[in-house]
Chain A
């Protein structure tokens, strides 16, 4: 009964016209009040940060755009020197951009590494699309990597032969990262499986490999590749420096990726293993058909994050003198005319690295959100 009385009493109240919230709560003013000026302390922080950011931005625009020199006639860097640090000398980038991108590759043949870079980017884009995630993708990878090898080396199909010593720049960074990935990934899967194996000898070998590699810096492996590998091989047999560094990077990445893959194997519920056993599948059938497809799917976001780290780490080959993007940038300013313009070159090289890493990082975040969507339901 009480419900009834309540209802009637409510019904008798004349309906008030809906009022909009006070002007200070909505729109731009409201947003500013909640996000920037919610308290005295907050307002002070906002003003201080805004002041610093604006001052820095003005300084940067003055240095980078207003006072900058964009090009100079034939290596006469006097115009740049006259700036005395108040403006950027982008002329170094205008002058050396071919060198930074392609290293000492023969000038007329620059279209070949440029095409390789496009092929690499295309390969990444195709691999990132979920609709292409099927077995044929491995064949595409093999085909594209082979095509890149042919383009870079030449010597067939009317392309002139270019020895490996003359390769350089961005394409070397992409080669080290992509080939490293292509070989380290299968290795990592084997090692991760080995580490969870019940066979003591295999488990011990895998644990030793992973812990040893993860305990030492990549540089020590690269040094090993550059000074110790030649001692390991029989006399007269010689592997070129790029390949040696590539092997070191594969071994390094393999250990880190193995730990990520192992995380996926552990996250899988025990029932999946037992169900596969109950069906009478052999170890390799169980792993290939039941375990890996689920485990790898789980670890794709952390895998992409490891790839980012690994892409950045390829720059360490600078220390053993391999001509990757960063080394090319560093070498571009060795010439006396261009000495002292490191900041401009490193900003440019940094922008290239940033584009690749930022794209991967955004992709990984989107993928993670997509994978987690079904759990929220």
Chain B
């Protein structure tokens, strides 16, 4: 029926004019412009390319990624995987990449937490707390990140040496060698318990999905917490107990001029993490604040009028709406944290940029070194934005 009522003229294609070879034909102009721009750009690229090839020949630099298999001979202070200077450049770069991810992932989590707290504090009815949060945001956002990193690093370096280390809590030492804290001696049992926890978390998530679907059918809400408790706490504990429940704590001890044992957070990593987290938290706080303010007051009042208790108001009514406003700008903050972690090179934390830079200085492979850095960041940026787009699509407003 609907087809017969539609105006048939809407389906008629516009008349096709033959292409006239004249400047007044829009399509001809378009083609000419494009050929011109592409040609010009191509010429510039070709000119740069031929210069580069010539320069490389003159300087006898061989191109290609063959250097990756050569021995690196560059010492790396901290690494998540086994590494010594006799390993290849490829392995050194992998260590750098892992170091970048280490600071980016931890930074994202901490910045989100602190940023959310500050954002909420800025909306607090407590005048003092709100003013303090506002001052924090203003100051932190108006100072260059690099300056903040250097500042924190200068403060950490100005701390007393290991012998006069500060001890804020018994067993935790803060000195110019970084932060030392007790840590469990890692054994297989712990790895398996961790694996059990991850499996438990996945299981809980699957159960939640199934329970929500069932609830859609019969309207019965199902309790989530017994399953979560069993799968994420009891199961790992059982696995850990099955392996004999090993529990030895490795306390840091002062031996000679430095500490032995325990876990170390190097001053470089600590300063980078502190700077990145506090800086990005300032931006995240503003995003969270804007997101919460974007939910109209009527929504709060309507939810309260329905008799929901405050937790439910926040969880079911306000947050889902605020998140829609928060997620897109949050994505770009996560991307910024990752990209800004490249400033590590200024304070001597060996991330991918720092190691690639040393590599290109040692081998002279400037083009390949820069290409590696760019490729790594493009890949990370793309992955984060794909994930966040997926999440954004999931929480987006579903309209009938």
Q: What is A's interface to B at a CB cutoff of 8 Å?
A: 34-36, 38, 42, 45-46, 49-50, 53, 85, 198-202, 205, 212, 214-220, 223-224, 227-228, 230-235, 308, 312-313, 315-316, 318-319, 326, 330, 340, 342-343, 346-347, 349-350, 353-354, 357-358, 361
* A236 CA to B152 CA, complexed, in Å: 43
How distant is B358 from chain A, measured CB to nearest CB, in Å?
12
Other A-B contacts than A215-B382, A354-B142, 7 sampled, CB-CB below 8 A, are: A35-B125, A42-B126, A216-B378, A223-B357, A227-B369, A343-B155, A361-B142
B128, A49: Cβ atoms closer than 8 Å? yes
* A361 CA to B142 CA, complexed, in Å: 8
How distant is A29 from chain B, measured CB to nearest CB, in Å?
14
B55, A220: Cβ atoms closer than 8 Å? no
Chief secondary structure at chain A's binding surface: helix
Interfacial chain B residues near A45, Cβ < 8 Å: 126, 128-129
How distant is A280 from chain B, measured CB to nearest CB, in Å?
12
Interfacial chain B residues near A232, Cβ < 8 Å: 48, 51-52, 55
**In the complex, how many residues of chain B place their beta carbon closer than 8 angstroms to a beta carbon of chain A?**
55
B126, A231: Cβ atoms closer than 8 Å? no
B126, A35: Cβ atoms closer than 8 Å? yes
Contact partner, B346, options A224, A228, A318, A342, Cβ 8 Å: A318
How distant is B286 from chain A, measured CB to nearest CB, in Å?
11
Number of A-B contacts (CB under 8 A): 157
Q: What is B's interface to A at a CB cutoff of 8 Å?
A: 30, 33-34, 37-38, 41, 48, 51-52, 54-56, 58, 125-129, 132, 138-139, 141-148, 150-151, 153-155, 157-158, 339-340, 342-343, 345-346, 353, 357, 360, 366-367, 369-370, 373-374, 377-378, 381-382
* A38 CA to B129 CA, complexed, in Å: 13
A217, B147: Cβ atoms closer than 8 Å? no
Interfacial chain B residues near A340, Cβ < 8 Å: 157-158
A50, B128: Cβ atoms closer than 8 Å? yes
Interfacial chain A residues near B129, Cβ < 8 Å: 45-46, 49
Chief secondary structure at chain B's binding surface: helix
A198, B30: Cβ atoms closer than 8 Å? yes
Nearest first, the 9 closest Cβ-Cβ pairs linking A and B are A342-B154, A357-B142, A35-B127, A312-B144, A217-B339, A201-B34, A315-B144, A217-B342, A346-B151
Interfacial chain A residues near B138, Cβ < 8 Å: 358, 361
B41, A354: Cβ atoms closer than 8 Å? no
Interfacial chain B residues near A227, Cβ < 8 Å: 360, 366, 369-370
A42, B125: Cβ atoms closer than 8 Å? yes
* A219 CA to B37 CA, complexed, in Å: 29
Interfacial chain A residues near B353, Cβ < 8 Å: 217, 219-220, 223
